[in-house]
Amino acid sequence: MNTGKQQKPVLTGQRFKTRKRDEKEKFEPTVFRDTIVLGLNETAGDLEAIAKFLDVTGSRLDYRRYADTLFDILIAGSMLAPGGTRIDDGDRSKVTKHCVFTTEETHSAVRSYAQLLLFLKAFTESEQTKLAMLTGILLATGTLPPAILTSLFSDNIVKEGISASFAVKMFKAWMAEKDASAVTSALRKANLDKKLLELFPANKQNVEHFTKYFNEAGLKELSDFLRVQQSLGTRKELQKELQERLSQECPIREMVVYLKEEMKRNELQEAAVIGLLWTCLMNAVEWNKKEELVTEQALKHLKYYSPLLAVFSTQGQSELVLLQKVQEYCYENIHFMKAFSKIIVLFYKADVLSEEAILKWYKDTHAAKGKSVFLEQMKKFVEWLQNAEEESESEGEED
């Protein structure tokens, strides 16, 4: 009789699969290091090749998970142990010479690696914020040159919205140290003022989206700056096109239609257009060098184009802008000094300038340039306007 306990059956040759959701991916920074170091060493120090390698490799390696390791490699050439020494320093396959610590001691060399350090996909949102703030402060102190910001226009981080997010945090820190004018001046010098829209993907590269995004971030100064820059760019293009049409003697009707369409499309004010028109009209002619002949030449030219100017001088502000433009031009071009009053009278008779605008200019809105000369020229005509106005008023009272 068997009095022992009955043994439970044992399953042999069976393995149960672990469900994928229960698996935990191993954290292996040394394996990550070996992959990055090998790739960097194969680039032979070509910074463009390094950037391309990091970009391509980022699609299969989790940079955010290994951000500290990646940072160690790009700065010191390998993983760092507590205290700052490199792990496996004696093994050449574990260390790369293509890093900040081994580059040349020149501004341009270190700057090139600094651009690689803005490989922002590698960092968590919190790390990106801190790096953005640090970058803004270093830009304000002059430690970093504004040209380093070209890294922000890389397609891979623009598409993911990282560039715009980083930029607003960086600009906030920069403007906390310096005023907005210092920041915008630095952007102009680095030729970055015209690239700001490129912080956003192609389908969002418009002034409206930029303004909304930066205004909500509390950076209205930068959205205002962008609008001014865009407007200046539009005016330059418009001036170029106007000059071309004038040289081809394009009919006035066609020019009116074109200008009105451009005003609507680019949200341009009439005062801006009248100033451009005057400049283009005066640039369209090779003026005679003799003072007695240039006046006659100018009056003939401007009389022909008066209907064009009249379409875009329907507002008081536009008329005053034109008056000041004429004054400045006649002052800066000595042969036109005596032509000023004749041009203004011509514009009055052609309904380009109103009586009210001329009187206001004479009284308090004239420019300082050549003021005494031009006011003296206009004195008799202004007196005639004032007398005509008084007679009209007295006739109205009698009626």
pLDDT in the model for residue 11: 43
> In this structure, are 151 and 230 located in the same domain?
yes
Q: What is the pLDDT of residue 396?
A: 54
End position of a domain, from candidates 84, 101, 117: 117
Shared domain for 159 and 241, answered yes or no, is yes
Tell me what pLDDT residue 145 has: 81
**Which residue among 248, 279, 300 closes a domain?**
248
Contact 386, 359 (CB under 8 A): yes
The helix/strand/coil state of 396 is: helix
Structural domain boundaries, residue 374: 250-393
265, part of any domain: yes
Convert the pLDDT of each residue in 93-111 to its tens digit. Answer: 899 888 878 888 777 777 6
Q: Does 154 share its domain with 97? A: no
CA pair distance 103, 66, nearest whole angstrom:
23
Q: How far apart are alpha carbons 365 and 370 in whole angstroms? A: 13
Percent of the chain with pLDDT over 70: 86
Question: Within this chain, do residues 204 and 97 fall inside the same structural domain, yes or no?
Answer: no
Cβ neighbours of residue 359 closer than 8 Å, sequence gap 6 or more: 382, 385, 386
Residue 14 within any structural domain of the chain? no
Inside any domain, residue 11 = no
The Cα–Cα gap between 329 and 275 comes to 11
Domain-located, residue 398: no
Residue 237 lies in a domain: yes
Q: In this structure, are residues 273 and 314 in contact, taking their beta carbons and an 8 Å threshold? A: no
Q: Are 284 and 335 in a shared domain?
A: yes
Distance separating alpha carbons of residues 366 and 325, to the nearest angstrom: 10
Q: How many CB atoms lie within 10 A of CB 47?
A: 15
Q: How many residues does this entry show for the chain? A: 399
CA distance 114 to 213: 27
Whether residue 384 sits in one domain with residue 374:
yes
Quick: pLDDT tens for 161-172: 889 999 999 999
**Is 35 inside any structural domain?**
yes
Give the pLDDT of residue 7: 55
Number of domains in the chain: 3
Does residue 20 surpass a pLDDT of 70? Answer: no
CATH, residue 321 = 1.25.40.180
Span of 256-260, 376-380, 390-394 with lowest mean pLDDT: 390-394
- pLDDT at residue 72 is higher than 60: yes
**One domain, residues 331 and 372:** yes
Could you tell me if residue 263 is inside a domain? yes
Query: Using an 8 Å Cβ cutoff, are 346 and 299 in contact?
Result: yes
Q: Which pLDDT score is estimated for 150? A: 81
Query: Is residue 225's pLDDT more than 90?
Result: no
Band of the pLDDT at 16, cuts 50, 70, 90? very low
pLDDT of residue 260: 92
Indicate the angle between helix axes 162-177 and 125-141, nearest 10 degrees. 40
274 and 180 in a common domain: no
Rounded Cα distance between 186 and 194, Å, is: 12
Residue 20 lies inside a defined structural domain of this protein: no
pLDDT, average across residues 253-268? 88
Q: Which among 185, 218, 248 is the end of a domain?
A: 248
The Cα 185–Cα 193 span in angstroms is: 9
The predicted structure's pLDDT at residue 22: 42
Q: What value does the mean pLDDT of the chain take? A: 84
